[in-house]
Amino acid sequence: MHNALIVAASEGFWDGIWHGIISWQFLQFVVAFLSFFGFVLTSATLLVLAERKIMAWMQDRIGPYHTGPGGSLQTVADVAKLLLKEDIRATDTDKAIFFLAPSVFLAPVIAAFAVLPFSPYVGLPGTALATGIVYLVAMSSLDVVGVVMAGWGSNNKYALIGGLRAAAQMISYELPLVLALVGVIMLTSVLDPSGSGIGTISVRGIMDFQVSAQYPGKGIGIWDFIFQGFTPWSWFFLVQPLMLLIYYTCGLAETNRAPFDLPEAESELVAGYLTEYSGMRWAMFFLGEYGNMTIVSAIATTLFLGGWSGPGVSYLTGLGSLGWGFLGNILALGYFVLKIYFLCFIFIWIRSTLPRLRADQLMQFAWLILIPTTLVNILITGGIYLVMHEIGLLNDGNAWFLVVLGVVNWLMLFGFIRLVGRAVVASTRRAQAPAIRARQRAAVAAQLAERVSTPASVATGTPQ
């Protein structure tokens, strides 16, 4: 023991510490970790404020405006209040499960941030993970455990119903969510420049397909500045718009946001699985939910909207100077966060527009509409490639494949929207069957003598 210490304390030990722990890479890791951890938490508070302000704007009211300039410190005050609140537990709750549930819910959300590429250089080591998508999906499905634990441990009937609803919902929507991503992964395998036909499920890898493509470099400064690494025509949402829509819809359901917020439907289940929680434990659920929202938006951004790519990023980072490279990174970070928040804005928009679905309609939507649609999409994507490849259209590049697939998918998008509308009409018509029969009966009755319901004395207007 002593010997080991003495040996370690010799020259090599300090050297090792200096090079191993206090190295440039390690510092980078610490900075990245802290900033991303901070991003999860601050993003949640920002989103809460943004949600309240945006919804207030849409609902013709002011929203929070007392705390800080224009109410900007409202969420800070709220968080402080939540931290200082008493930690309450009802007597008959299952103590261990009740206390653990918020952590079980929040931990995967924070863990999922590890694989998100924020800019060309800034990213946790997880960004290099070759199985990024699988990791993300795994993390987002772990959430349901926390929700069920909360629902069961609270020993409250509303919480129990909420927890069970959440379990059914989150598991059902996990399937179309993953299947929607498969379409994109198939694209990467087609577009693979090495021609090996092996795609990638690394988040960074999928993003690179949308960044590095199709700008030959004109040599004109301003064009290069804008379009180097910023090629919106190669973003995957143009080729697979329907999958973006379905992914986004499933994301709404995964994060329990309106119109899929049944597990915590306040008008039905008081607060669902959150009923018995208060103070910091409740805040952890809340945080996790908004963190989830950020993650769903971030995945949609990286997979469909080109991630951090935007005018100037690749140009600046490609200059090779540290200062410009730093600026390029900041720009990339800005674009990424901007795209995330744009998608979050749509989350909020949807919440203030739509009413809530019913539990059975929710399940029907997932199993009868979303899953078949995603499966058909996979079939069509593969089929088109196969046919075009066999005909020999793809000998000089994949451009035609992308065009055809894009056209087909946009048509499918409009078809899908129509289909959903028709399905709703059909199902409500079925539900209305007794009413329809009654209407027919009423039509028959109308042909008979009309029942006069007004006595003559009243109809003539004499006072009662």
Binding site for other proteins (CB under 8 A): 55, 58-61, 92-94, 152-153, 155, 157, 160-161, 258-259, 261-262, 265-268, 270, 351-361, 420-421, 424-425, 427-428, 430-435, 438-439, 442, 453-454, 458, 461, 463-464
Give residue 186's identity as a one-letter amino acid code: M
Of 42 and 59, the one with the shorter C-beta distance to other proteins is 59
Minimum distance between the CB of residue 401 and other proteins, rounded to whole angstroms?
34
Minimum distance between the CB of residue 148 and other proteins, rounded to whole angstroms?
13
Say how far apart CA 323 and CA 330 lie, in whole Å.
Answer: 11
Minimum distance between the CB of residue 264 and other proteins, rounded to whole angstroms?
11
Of 257 and 281, the one with the shorter C-beta distance to other proteins is 257
Minimum distance between the CB of residue 363 and other proteins, rounded to whole angstroms?
11
Minimum distance between the CB of residue 462 and other proteins, rounded to whole angstroms?
9
Minimum distance between the CB of residue 425 and other proteins, rounded to whole angstroms?
8
Minimum distance between the CB of residue 415 and other proteins, rounded to whole angstroms?
16
285 in Cβ contact with 150 (< 8 Å): yes
Say how far apart CA 170 and CA 266 lie, in whole Å.
Answer: 18
Specify the DSSP element, H or E, that contains 238: helix 236-239
Within 8 A by CB and 6+ apart from 252, the residues are 258, 259, 260, 296, 347, 350
Say how far apart CA 259 and CA 117 lie, in whole Å.
Answer: 29
Of 3 and 460, the one with the shorter C-beta distance to other proteins is 460
Of 56 and 327, the one with the shorter C-beta distance to other proteins is 56
Of 222 and 431, the one with the shorter C-beta distance to other proteins is 431
Residue tagged 């070759």 (tokens): 130
Please count the helices (runs of H) and the strands (runs of E) in the chain: 20, 0
- Give the number of other CB atoms < 10 A from CB of residue 352: 14
Cα torsion through 129, 132, 138, 139, rounded to 10:
80
Of 99 and 121, the one with the shorter C-beta distance to other proteins is 99
185 in Cβ contact with 199 (< 8 Å): yes
Residue tagged 């499966």 (tokens): 375
Say how far apart CA 129 and CA 117 lie, in whole Å.
Answer: 11
Of 62 and 379, the one with the shorter C-beta distance to other proteins is 62
Residue tagged 């059975």 (tokens): 360
